[in-house]
Chains A and B, each alone.
Chain A
Amino acid sequence: MSSRDKILSQIKQNKPEEVALPQVTRFVSHFESTEDKFREMLALIYTEVIVVKNLEELAQKAGELYKGVVNRATTIPALSAWADFSLNVSDPHELETVEIAILQAEFGVAENGAVWISDQYLPHRVLPFITQNLAFVIPRNALVNNMHEAYVRLQDTQGWGCFIAGPSKTADIEQSLVIGAHGARSMVIFLLEGE
């Protein structure tokens, strides 16, 4: 018998009597303002939130914020003039020198400040991790209250997707928080007003 069949048959023999799934597995979060909660959580995880009225203002803010930074990459067509690093590479290792990536993402979660990004928005999965600094652009109205709502919105994941909450961090040395472990050293979220 293969290990697969052996494992499955032993499980079948040993598993407990059948029980049903619990009826309630989704909960509602009540926040006075979803956006305020989102901002509050992001402030706690060292992430700046900037509201921009339109793509022109986004380009202007990006220019100010990352002035003097070279190797700027983006997935947002309106920022193509701002970028100086082409994402049109075949090997993701070539992204190793990206200093700042401004990326379109789908939506944010108020209870924890996480933002969902997936294959749908990315030419390379490693990009939000390998870049030294990271910024997401999401529509200002694309915010949900909690993770239950997030998964309702996210009916299926793409080939790969990720909730990212703030810059990368570690506290493995005597519980001292250090920002910038292996991933991004800084994080900015642009909330783009409806067009």
Chain B
Amino acid sequence: MSKTVMEHADASEVFNRDEPYVNWHDETLWFVRQKRDKSSKQLPEWEQLREAASGIKHYVLSHMDELLVSFEQKAKENGVQVHWAANAAEHNEIVLGLLKKHKIDRMVKSKSMLTEECHMNEFLQKNGIEVIDTDLGERIVQLRNEPPSHIVLPAIHLKKKDIGDLFHAHLGTEAGATDPQYLTEAARQHLRDKFLTRRAALTGVNFAIAETGGFVVSTNEGNADMGAHLADIHIACMGFEKIIPKQEHLGVFLRLLARSATGQPITTYSSHFKKPRAGQEMHIIIVDNGRSTQLGRKDFRNSLKCIRCGACMNTCPVYRRSGGHSYHNAVAGPIGSILAPNLDMTKNADLPFASTLCGSCSNVCPVKIDIHDQLYKWRQVLAKEGYVPKSKEIGIRAMSTVLAAPRFYQWSGRLGRTVMRAMPFMVNNGLNPWYKQRDMPEPPKESFRDWYVRNRKN
């Protein structure tokens, strides 16, 4: 599925070649961010809710092992089978094993970013299992042979014409049709057939409750429930950080989740699974895949509080103008950029630099993760451990030489201003990375320092 991996900056450059498209992408996501603002402002207790959610998640981080053991015990008492996977490969093998045991070679799947992280679909396909993604956005990107570009809005990077063409080719809709109602209806019919004929359904988990052994799955489309309630076997996959202590804590999280994600007061369906229905098998796979390592990183463990609402992406000026695919990670945007280096520092060293550090992500995060601080701290770690690319290192070193010598700094500033005035072509060219998709500013006549020295004398 993954194509040649480009660094974030290079991929963004490609993304930015089509200016009207980038503007559209930017505005679409900003619109979602505004819906979140409107919705959150209707709750006077919004900030207290965030504080409570962050506090509960902090408790979770510090009691993770006990909560997981309690969850496992209760789930087993409820007749659910619990599996543990140390890494992606083990997770994928468990899923394959369960399907093989039941002689099943076709499965429906609702949204699960964890299975994206584990590259499960590719693995199962290689082993002769067909997986159909049933969330409309996910089905769209699956038919395009692409990963989702956003954790909540998987096909947000596509225009309706792209989807019309895709459905014409795969689902036999009329050529040139772009009406969302018509296209959605076609997908409904196509996927209803899958729900009715597949014996296995895989879902993600939004929250797992230690106290009851139950888990909650939220969707707007109803695809998780359609799959799970018709299948003989339901497999639910969760990163271990999805655990919450008590059922009543869902009150806090369900009030925050959809409002932060899309501005809805709650998703259409918040499905509470506890026991399999008569004759059905229910399995839960609890996955580590680097999370226990992240838990040990003092500066970065808070990233495990994430409830996957996507608010940090919708607000991020870099995400909005570079698109989810440029992050080359299952989870894109600011939160993805602090999760990804934990998984692989070599592959993901570029991501913490894909930020302006403006802090908007931290401001909208419903569980108050210090996202922009962590982006900054990852840069330190990556530089110290030698993962920063040479070009960036040279730039940073030159910068520190200039900034460390006041006279040299003054001289360079003056030189820069003169050059920009006298020979603008020296900076307004493709060799200057700041000139890409931007116009250079008018150079000021003098620096603040010169102005200050001159005016202080008066």
Contacts and interface: CB of A to CB of B under 8 A. Distances in A.
Whether chains A and B associate is: yes
Interface of A: 2-4, 6-8, 10-22, 24-27, 41, 45, 92-93, 96, 109, 111-114, 118-119, 124-126, 129-130, 146-148, 150-152, 154, 156-176, 178, 180-184
Given A4-B84, A162-B270, A10 B136 contact: no
Interface of B: 28, 31-32, 45, 48-49, 51-52, 55-56, 58-59, 61-65, 68-69, 78, 84-86, 90, 134-137, 140, 153-156, 158-160, 163, 180-181, 183-185, 188, 191-192, 195-196, 212, 214, 220-223, 225-226, 229-230, 240, 245, 247-252, 254-255, 262, 264-277, 286, 288, 292-293, 295-296, 298, 301
B255 A146 contact: yes
Given A8-B68, A151-B250, A181-B220, A20 B59 contact: yes
B20 to A, nearest CB: 14
B155 A182 contact: no
A11 B272 contact: no
B212 A157 contact: yes
B295 A147 contact: no
Contact of A174 (B45, B52, B159, B286): B159
A22 B65 contact: no
Given A15-B295, A173-B180, 9 more contacts: A11-B65, A13-B296, A24-B48, A26-B251, A114-B270, A146-B251, A146-B255, A172-B135, A175-B156
B267 to A, nearest CB: 7
A55 to B, nearest CB: 28
Contacts of A109: 266
B251 A148 contact: yes
Given A15-B62, A147-B254, A157-B272, A92 B56 contact: no
Contacts of B195: 182
Nearest to B32: A175
A14 B292 contact: yes
5 contacts: A7-B240, A16-B61, A96-B192, A119-B277, A126-B225
A7 B84 contact: yes
A114 B266 contact: yes
B268 A164 contact: yes
B198 to A, nearest CB: 11
A11 B295 contact: yes
A15 B274 contact: no
Nearest to A163: B270
Given A7-B292, A157-B274, A125 B225 contact: yes
Contacts of B48: 24, 27
B159 A126 contact: no
In this complex, the member of A21, A24, A112, A181 whose beta carbon has the largest number of chain B beta carbons within 10 angstroms is: A181
A14 B61 CA distance: 10
B58 A19 contact: yes
A181 B223 contact: yes
B221 A25 contact: no
A180 B62 contact: no
Contacts of B277: 119, 125, 159-160
A158 B158 CA distance: 40
